[in-house]
Structure 1
Amino acid sequence: MSTETPTLGRPRAFDEETVLDRAAEVFWRHGYDGASLSALTGAMGINRPSLYSTFGSKEQLFRRAFARYHGMKLAAARAALDQPTALASIEVFLRSSADGLTAGDHPPGCLSIQGGLACSPENAPISEALAAGRADTEAALRERLSRAAAEGDLPAGLDPPALARFVMTLSEGHAVHAAAGASREELQASVDVAMLALGALRS
C-alpha cells in the first residue's frame, strides 16, 4: 500500500513570478482602472478562472504584482544609498532612477506613479497602497540623510526630511516626464542641475 500523500488539485501550469511581472506591465501601461481583465489574462497567458483561483481578484492581483515590483525597487534604492557620503548617495539614487525610468525592457516611467494616477474613488485603496510604497522609499532616503547629518556629512541647518522630500519629488517628477517621452539624457541633465545646487550648499 502506498504511503505517499496524494496531491490535491491540478499543478499550476504557469510560473507565478512571470505572470505577476506580466500583470505589472499591464497595470503600468494602463493604470489600475484602465487594466481590463481581458488585457490582464491575455498578457499573463492564463484564463479568468485561473486568475481568480490563484490571486482572488483584480485588486489582490495588483497588490501581489506591486509588492513584487516594489520589493525589487526598494532593494535597488537601498543599494544606491549605500555610498560613503550623502551627496554620493543622492546622486547614485537619482541617476540610477533616471536610468530605470527610461529602460527599454518595460514601459517608461514608474508603476507606482502610473498605476494609480487616475484611480476612481472606489479604488482609492490602490492609490493609497502606491503612496505607501513611495513613502517607504522616502523613509529609506530620510534614514540615510539623517545618519549623514548626525555624522556631520550635511551642512548645519539642512533638514534631512526636507532634503529627502526634495529628492523624492525630483525622482517622481522624472517618472511623469519619462512616461511623457523624456529621454534618459534629459532626465540626467536635470540630475546635473540638482547636484550643482546641492554641491553649492557645501561651499
Structure 2
Amino acid sequence: MYIETELTPNPATLKFLPGQPVMAAGTREFTTPEEAASSPLAEALFELGDVTGVFFGRDFVSVTAAPGANWADLKPQVVAILLDHFVSGAPLFAGGDAGGIAVPAGADDETFGDDPADADVVAQIKDLLETRVRPAVANDGGDIIYRGFREGVVYLTMQGACAGCPSSSATLKHGIESLLKHYVPEVSEVRAA
C-alpha cells in the first residue's frame, strides 16, 4: 500500500491519501485528544504529541501539526500510523461506531435555524455549496459546513486544513461570498460561524 501526501494551502496541515475510502459518507474533525478518543486512528495520531488536528474526508486524512513541529520528522510517523491502520483493516471508529457526529454530504448542522420564508434561497445556497464549493475545499484537505442564513448573511464553518489556513478568511470573503452573491442576489455577506 502506498499513501500519497499532498500539501494544502495551510502550511501546518498535510493531506494524506490512502488510495481507498476513509469515510463512507460525510466528514469528521477532531481538534483535541479527547474528541479523538472515539477513533483509534485519530487517537494514535494525537498520541504523536505534535498533532493538533485530524480530519477525515471521503478519501483522505488531513493532519495538522502543532506550532513549531517539523513535518520532516512528523510525516514518516503519520504515514506509518496510517499504513498500519489501513493495511490491518481496523475500524475507523471505536465499537463499530459509524462516526457519531459525522456530517454527511448535503446534511448540515444549522446553528442559526433558517426562516421558512427563505427556503428557496437556502436551497440555492446549499446546492452551490455542495456542487461548487465543497469539492474545491475537499481538494485542499478540508470541508465547509453550512450553519444558516439570516437577513442576507450566510454562516459557514471551515473544517480540516481550511479551518486554520491563513487564507481561509480570503476564501470565505472573496471566493465563496463572490460566488454566492453572483448566483443568489439575496446573499449580502458570508461570515464564519
TM-score by length of 1: 0.30
Which structure features the higher share of strand residues?
2
Q: TM-score, normalised by structure 2?
A: 0.31
The higher radius of gyration belongs to 1
